[in-house]
Amino acid sequence: MSTRDVALAVFIMLIWGGNFVVAKQGLLEIPPMLFMTMRFVLVAACLLPFVSVPRDKLVPLALYGLVLGGLHFSLMFTALVQLDAATAAVLSQLAVPFATLLAAMYLRDRPGWRRLLGMALAFAGAVLIAGEPRFEGGLLPVLLVVGAALAWGVGAVQVKAMGPVDPSTLNGYMALFAIPPLLVLSLILEEGQIETLLDASWVGWGAIAYQSFAVVIVGYGVWYGLLRRNSISVAMPFMLLVPFIGVGAGVVFLDEALTWQLVVGGLITVTGVGIIIVRRPETAGSAQR
């Protein structure tokens, strides 16, 4: 990998790792379902005019949008309202072992003992974090992130089963099909949507713009370019930077507590994810963040 590509890879990981902090700031002004609806409206508006209609893949793309857009993001952003960004950044890495497990079940992709060890470590680290005293009052936010990670894993299997799809088409149509369920959830669970958007400050709108343009359009545009120029085994390990950046950003910008359980459990989880990525790097690149 060239020096330029290394710099671009680190840049994208900074964008994705910082996303947890940015999202939490936006969620202070805009409720999660409405926040995600607006994110996907912008993504769809920016991408769909420039891609062709994948008529042979509309049904699987619709199902993908429901799972990743409607389920994964609704669970993750609901959790972020109550959970610190650092913990969410670490627990979201369970998406990789979930994807590996689901691939073994539905795609007959046998994991082997090394990836089984990686999965065991990843889940053990998550259990250690969930056992922190601060979660004794309720594990709901933690379980929501775990559920979001599981949904991401399902989405990764869906992408593998779909076969080759242009990244812009994948992200654009996923966004389009995610809008209806998220909007319905917002209308049922939230209120005052129009007033909320009109009253939102530059912080709320900036968070939506960051999610739409930086995370998806810029992030995935650059990332897939890196994957075209470099082998997956070289590029994917950079994704291990995301939880470290997410934890660091939460501590620095939101003054979040860095407990020993989060540090030790996070290191165990990331080690497990690292083993999985090294053994089968494409597992980590099958769905968007």
Q: How confident is the model at residue 232 (pLDDT cuts 50, 70, 90)?
A: confident
Burial of 228 (0-12, 13-18, 19+ CB in 10 A): exposed
Lookup: tokens for 108 = 């007959």
pLDDT digits over 194-220, tens only?
Answer: 999 999 999 999 999 999 999 989 988
Mean pLDDT of 109-131: 89
Q: How confident is the model at residue 104 (pLDDT cuts 50, 70, 90)?
A: confident
pLDDT at 5 exceeding the cut of 80: yes
Of 75-79, 96-100, 132-136, which range is least confident? 132-136
Q: How many domains does the chain have?
A: 1
Q: How confident is the model at residue 137 (pLDDT cuts 50, 70, 90)?
A: low
pLDDT digits over 234-286, tens only?
Answer: 888 898 999 999 999 999 999 998 899 999 999 999 999 999 887 665 555 55
Domain that holds residue 60: 3-285
Q: What pLDDT does residue 38 have?
A: 97
> At 183, which amino acid appears?
L
If you average pLDDT over each of 102-106, 182-186, 285-289, which comes out highest?
Answer: 182-186
Q: What pLDDT does residue 283 have?
A: 54
CB 40 within 8 A of CB 178: yes
Nearby residues of 36 by Cβ (< 8 Å), 6 or more positions away: 69, 73, 74, 77, 178, 182
pLDDT at 162 exceeding the cut of 70: yes
- 3-state secondary structure labels for all residues of the chain: CCHHHHHHHHHHHHHHHHHHHHHHHHHCCCCHHHHHHHHHHHHHHHHHHHCCCCHHHHHHHHHHHHHHHHHHHHHHHHHHHHCCHHHHHHHHHHHHHHHHHHHHHHCCCCCHHHHHHHHHHHHHHHHHHHCCHHHCCCCHHHHHHHHHHHHHHHHHHHHHHHCCCCHHHHHHHHHHHHHHHHHHHHHHHCCCHHHHHHHCCHHHHHHHHHHHHHHHHHHHHHHHHHHHHCCHHHHHHHHHHHHHHHHHHHHHHHCCCCCHHHHHHHHHHHHHHHHHHHHCHHHHHCCCC
pLDDT at 230 exceeding the cut of 90: no
Cα–Cα dist 156/231, whole Å: 19
Q: What is the pTM of this model?
A: 0.90
pLDDT digits over 37-68, tens only?
Answer: 999 999 999 999 999 998 889 999 999 999 99
Q: CA angle at residue 199 from 198 to 205, to 5 degrees?
A: 75
Q: In percent, how much of the chain has pLDDT > 90?
A: 67
Q: What pLDDT does residue 65 have?
A: 93
Q: What pLDDT does residue 286 have?
A: 52
